[in-house]
């Protein structure tokens, strides 16, 4: 854990907006003006490979990063453009939904939903 990694990680812990590498770069620059974009990419990669952070890909958009390690689904609100974390219901198992061939093993799964959230007035 270097200064830079701690800074990037700290930012992700506070900021649940699923920022891109560039977003992270701009925000971290406030506190470490000399940091480079490549370092931000390196830090994010290190955090991801060490399992502290998840990399989230949506369509062909730039990757986003989030420090919410609990298993969850991403909901892209079309109105606001924001991404929300949605949890599974208790006891829900995706295997129950799918016609998976006998003996298939799931390593990892990613579910992304696009839609509209009710506007809260």
Binding residues vs DNA (CB under 7 A)? 2-5, 20-22, 32, 34-39, 41-43, 45-46, 60, 62-63
Kindly list the residues in this chain that would bind a second copy in the complex (CB under 8 A). 57-60, 63, 73, 75, 78, 86-89, 92, 94, 96-118
Length of the chain: 121
Q: How far is CA 68 from the centre of its chain?
A: 7
CB of 3 to a second copy, least distance (A): 27
Of the two residues 7 and 47, which places its CB atom closer to a second copy in the complex?
Answer: 47
CB of 81 to DNA, least distance (A): 14
User: What gap in Å lies between CA 14 and CA 36, rounded to an integer?
Assistant: 21
User: What gap in Å lies between CA 63 and CA 58, rounded to an integer?
Assistant: 7
CB under 8 Å to 80, separation ≥6 — which residues?
Answer: 117
Of the two residues 26 and 116, which places its CB atom closer to DNA in the complex?
Answer: 26
| Contact by Cβ (8 Å): 74, 113 | yes
CB of 99 to a second copy, least distance (A): 5
């Amino acid at each position: 854990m270097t200064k830079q990694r701690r800074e990037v990680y700290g930012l992700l812990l506070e900021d649940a907006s699923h920022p891109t590498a560039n977003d992270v770069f701009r925000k971290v620059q406030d506190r470490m003006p000399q940091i480079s974009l490549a370092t931000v990419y390196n830090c994010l990669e290190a955090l991801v490979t060490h399992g502290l952070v998840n990399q989230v890909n949506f369509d062909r958009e730039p990757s986003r990063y989030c420090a919410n390690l609990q298993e969850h689904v991403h909901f892209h609100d079309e109105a606001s453009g924001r991404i929300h974390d949605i949890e599974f219901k208790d006891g829900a198992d995706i295997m129950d939904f799918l016609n998976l061939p006998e003996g298939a093993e799931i390593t990892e799964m990613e579910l992304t939903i696009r839609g509209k959230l009710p506007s809260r007035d």
